């Protein structure tokens, strides 16, 4: 089940003891009862009817596990290895990080080195706020078991599965590198002032203005045969820097993404060809904008992005988890 519900309707499911993943505006999430669920703030949701901005209802996903097979907890900066060490040997893990927090930055920059994180079925997303609220309120994550919200920690849900089932985490990335300039960054960072472009050191802020880099078009790099994209958040005059929603990687060659002529149709086609029916999926905000006018998604989505299976970065366009019967 992936449905847009009122808080009262969501509370009916919570009170029945179901295991849920919930996304919505902070005011709506704070109306929910305690129970076996985790959630994060975002008003940007992709429904079967397309992208919507919703501040009164919540998007609820039913997870196919029993409460006794689930553990939820907050993880702070000093306990990131617990994401993998406490994960079940057969099951899946969902993480939600509050956008632009210290824990978001540290996780994005360091989690690839967490022992065992490549060995678990891990997915997640970054909670956010309405653009009108930027600088006024912080993104939050919720542990429904305790009823607590946090803006400085990651919330984690570990779910164990029986031996005859296994979790599969997959990514759909329609974005590929274009044929433009080669851009190489000096360090992993959310904010860049200088970089190397086509072998020459340049002021990246001046370059972005000169080239009129489109905010909706990400930069893309090839990492071991997998395209990884990162979206521009802002071109900031005060700091003369270009800021990103996720950190760029050191030493990798990036290019501006090639144009996808009809993202909606391309996503629907790939989903159909690959027979994708994930239990839970998430999407980045740029894709939300592409899908919003007449959008169609194969499942839920939450701004701003999904997570690679390795948990290394919060920048994948579309990520989902399904449970297979063996």
pLDDT in tens, 88-134: 999 999 999 999 899 998 898 888 788 999 899 999 999 999 988 98
Report pLDDT for 46. Answer: 80
Same domain, 69 and 155: yes
Q: What percent of the chain has pLDDT over 90?
A: 57
Which tokens belong to 190?
Answer: 């959310």
DSSP string across 86-99: TS-SSEEEEEEEET
> How many whole angstroms separate alpha carbon 3 and alpha carbon 173?
24
Domain total in the chain = 2
Q: Is the dihedral of CA 91, 97, 102, 108 positive or negative?
A: positive
> How many whole angstroms separate alpha carbon 218 and alpha carbon 171?
17
Same domain, 197 and 239: yes
Same domain, 103 and 233: no
Q: How far apart, in Å, do the first and last CA atoms of the chain sit?
A: 21
Report pLDDT for 307. Answer: 30
- pLDDT confidence tier of residue 324, bands split at 50, 70 and 90: low
Pick from 256, 288, 305: which residue ends a domain? 256
Same domain, 284 and 249: no
Query: Whose CA is closest to 297, among 260, 270, 324?
Result: 270
Same domain, 126 and 143: yes
For range 24-30, the mean pLDDT: 97
Is residue 176 domain-resident? no
- pLDDT confidence tier of residue 267, bands split at 50, 70 and 90: confident
Is residue 222 domain-resident? yes
Same domain, 286 and 320: yes
- Owning domain of residue 197: 183-256
Is residue 304 domain-resident? yes
Average pLDDT along the chain: 85
Pick from 221, 236, 256: which residue ends a domain? 256
Same domain, 230 and 291: no
Are 39 and 58 a contacting pair, CB within 8 Å? Answer: yes
> How many whole angstroms separate alpha carbon 10 and alpha carbon 51?
20
Pick from 256, 275, 310: which residue ends a domain? 256
Same domain, 56 and 200: no
Same domain, 73 and 149: yes
Is residue 177 domain-resident? no
Report pLDDT for 308. Answer: 29
Same domain, 145 and 119: yes
> How many whole angstroms separate alpha carbon 214 and alpha carbon 198?
19
Same domain, 20 and 158: yes
> How many whole angstroms separate alpha carbon 171 and alpha carbon 178?
20
Report pLDDT for 300. Answer: 36
Count of residues making up the chain: 326
Write the pLDDT tens digit of every residue in 35-56. Answer: 999 999 999 988 877 778 999 9
Half-sphere exposure of 172 (CA within 13 A, CB side): 27
Other C-beta atoms within 10 Å of 111: how many? Answer: 24
Report pLDDT for 52. Answer: 87
Same domain, 116 and 246: no
């Amino acid at each position: 089940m992936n449905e847009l519900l009122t808080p009262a309707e969501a509370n009916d499911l919570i009170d029945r003891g179901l295991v849920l993943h919930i996304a919505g505006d902070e005011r709506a999430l704070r109306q929910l009862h305690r129970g076996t669920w985790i959630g994060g703030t975002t008003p940007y949701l992709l429904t079967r009817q397309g992208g919507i901005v919703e501040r009164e209802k919540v998007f609820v996903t039913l997870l196919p596990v029993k409460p006794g097979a689930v553990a939820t907890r907050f993880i702070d900066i000093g306990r990131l290895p617990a994401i993998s060490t406490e994960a079940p040997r057969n099951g899946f893990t969902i993480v939600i990080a509050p956008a632009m927090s210290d824990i978001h930055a540290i996780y994005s920059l360091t989690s690839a080195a967490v022992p065992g994180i490549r060995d678990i079925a891990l997915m997640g997303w970054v909670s956010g706020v309405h653009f009108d609220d930027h600088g006024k309120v912080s993104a939050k994550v919720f542990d429904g078991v305790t009823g607590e919200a946090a803006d400085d920690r990651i919330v984690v849900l570990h779910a164990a599965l029986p031996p005859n089932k296994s979790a599969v985490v997959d990514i759909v990335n329609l974005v590929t590198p274009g044929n433009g300039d080669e851009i190489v960054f000096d360090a992993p960072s959310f904010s860049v002032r200088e970089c190397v472009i086509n072998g020459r050191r340049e002021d990246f802020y001046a370059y972005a203005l000169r080239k009129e880099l489109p905010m909706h078009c990400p930069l893309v790099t090839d990492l071991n045969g997998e395209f990884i994209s990162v979206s521009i958040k802002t071109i900031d005059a005060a700091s003369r820097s270009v800021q990103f929603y996720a950190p760029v990687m050191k030493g990798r060659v990036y290019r501006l993404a090639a144009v996808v002529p009809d993202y909606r149709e391309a996503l629907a086609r790939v989903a159909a060809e690959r027979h994708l029916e994930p239990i839970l999926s998430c999407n980045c905000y740029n894709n939300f904008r592409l899908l919003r006018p007449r959008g169609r998604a194969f499942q839920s989505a939450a701004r701003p992005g999904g997570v690679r299976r390795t948990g290394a970065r919060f920048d994948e366009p579309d990520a989902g988890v399904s449970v297979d019967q063996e």
